[in-house]
């Protein structure tokens, strides 16, 4: 058993008994995705982000989970689109910035990743 699989078992055991601990649920969702359980991680991230949408550190993991999962629910697609079109407040500078159109597609300026192409096909 690899380190992430062992960590996931520990987080599931500990996190299952503490569903109201937001920080623990965030960590559980991240470790789930990092362990390769993308569909389960996507479900967990959806719950965490629906509870608190403004968590910029989680959105790259959400994109990873979405691109690795075999499918997405309608609400998961809507959550990705909501993030794509939302304006987020850039802390420390006091200005709002618009998120680029490539957020949620795993697309980097000038190129598309393999995972981004898979996610883009699902959205069509």
The reported pLDDT for the residue numbered 9 is: 83
| pLDDT at 88 exceeding the cut of 70 | no
- What whole-number distance in Å separates Cα of residue 118 and Cα of residue 115? 5
In tens, the pLDDT along 58-77 reads 988 998 999 999 999 999 99
- Residue 34 CB-density burial (10 A; 0-12 exposed, 13-18 middle, 19+ buried): middle
Check the CA dihedral 51-56-58-63 and report its sign: positive
Q: What is the mean pLDDT of residues 100-114?
A: 45
Domain boundaries, the chain: 3-123
The reported pLDDT for the residue numbered 118 is: 60
The reported pLDDT for the residue numbered 111 is: 44
In tens, the pLDDT along 17-70 reads 788 889 999 999 999 999 999 999 999 999 999 999 888 889 889 989 999 999
Dihedral of CA atoms 12, 18, 23, 24 in degrees, nearest 10, equals -20
CA distances from 12 to 19, 39, 105 (A): 10, 15, 29
């Amino acid at each position: 058993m690899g380190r992430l699989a062992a960590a996931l078992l520990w987080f599931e055991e500990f996190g299952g008994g503490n569903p109201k601990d937001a920080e623990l649920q965030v960590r559980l969702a991240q470790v789930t995705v990092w362990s390769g359980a993308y569909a389960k991680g996507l479900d967990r991230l959806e719950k965490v982000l629906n509870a608190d949408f403004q968590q910029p550190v989680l959105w790259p993991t959400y994109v990873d989970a979405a691109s690795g999962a075999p499918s997405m629910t309608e609400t998961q697609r809507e959550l990705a689109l909501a993030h794509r079109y939302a304006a987020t407040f850039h802390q420390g500078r006091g200005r709002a910035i618009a998120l680029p159109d490539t957020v949620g597609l795993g697309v980097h300026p000038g190129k598309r990743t393999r995972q981004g192409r898979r996610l883009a096909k699902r959205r069509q």
